[in-house]
Amino acid sequence: MSTGQYNYSYIFKYIIIGDMGVGKSCLLHQFTEKKFMADCPHTIGVEFGTRIIEVAGQKIKLQIWDTAGQERFRAVTRSYYRGAAGALMVYDITRRSTYNHLSSWLTDTRTLTNPSTVIFLIGNKCDLEAQRDVTYEEAKQFADENGLMFVEASAKTGQNVEEAFLETARKIYQSIQDGRLDLNAAESGVQHKPSQPGRNTLNNDQQQNRYNKDNCAC
């Protein structure tokens, strides 16, 4: 019985954020299923995906939250940032507006996650070279200025998708090794033991609150 080697020792929580239609769900799908999802519907909510990877001989389970990009959901999706160890911030290289909004996404990420959260910038749809609207160089500069990791990727061809997810994990793992990321901190986004993904911050005490709503003694 060689239990250890097949299990995973860490769980990393990731979030994928960015404007609507930049291909966040397709990136997740490509990463977990190795397939391109054509006609991917808009995400109305927060999709959840998982995959087990290996970093430095350690099995790591990634729990990935793929958020809705629509502006009207922004207030709600903000609550999913908390406790993310990695944030994949995605724009569409063929639509400049999605790039222009990055600073707002970045502000959210910085405000709502902790300082050790690894932020990885992904310029998606790099297979559509002819329709390019954002140059590699300017995005690279933006990433450098803000201390972000960066690749251009394609959820369609799979180019650099694996790399972005894995590199983020490596960076997080490195932070653990360096002691920069405190595993005991409640919001580190890293768990030492497997557990369920779902009970996020949204639903604390809702029973209690439901009760209060009806019986508030002011």
Q: Least separation, in Å, of the C-beta of 16 and other proteins? A: 13
Helix or strand (DSSP H, E) at 80: none
- From residue 16 to residue 45, the character string flagging contacts with other proteins as x (rule: CB under 8 A) and all else as - is ----------------xxx---------xx
Cβ(25)–Cβ(66) below 8 Å: yes
Q: Does 48 bind other proteins (CB under 8 A)?
A: yes
Cα distances (Å, whole numbers) of residue 175 to 35, 53, 142, 148? 31, 17, 23, 15
Cβ(113)–Cβ(84) below 8 Å: yes
Q: Does 179 bind other proteins (CB under 8 A)?
A: no
What whole-number distance in Å separates Cα of residue 169 and Cα of residue 31?
A: 13
Of residues 102 and 181, the one with the C-beta less far from other proteins: 181
Q: Count CB atoms within 10 A of the CB of residue 54.
A: 11
Among 18, 23, 49, 189, binds other proteins (CB under 8 A): 49
Cβ(11)–Cβ(84) below 8 Å: no
Interactions with other proteins, residue window 73-92 (CB under 8 A):
73, 75-76, 79-80
- Size of site (CB under 8 A) for other proteins: 50
Q: Could you list the residues that contact other proteins (CB under 8 A)? A: 1-4, 6-7, 9, 32-34, 44-52, 68, 72-73, 75-76, 79-80, 186, 193-207, 209-210, 212-213, 215-218
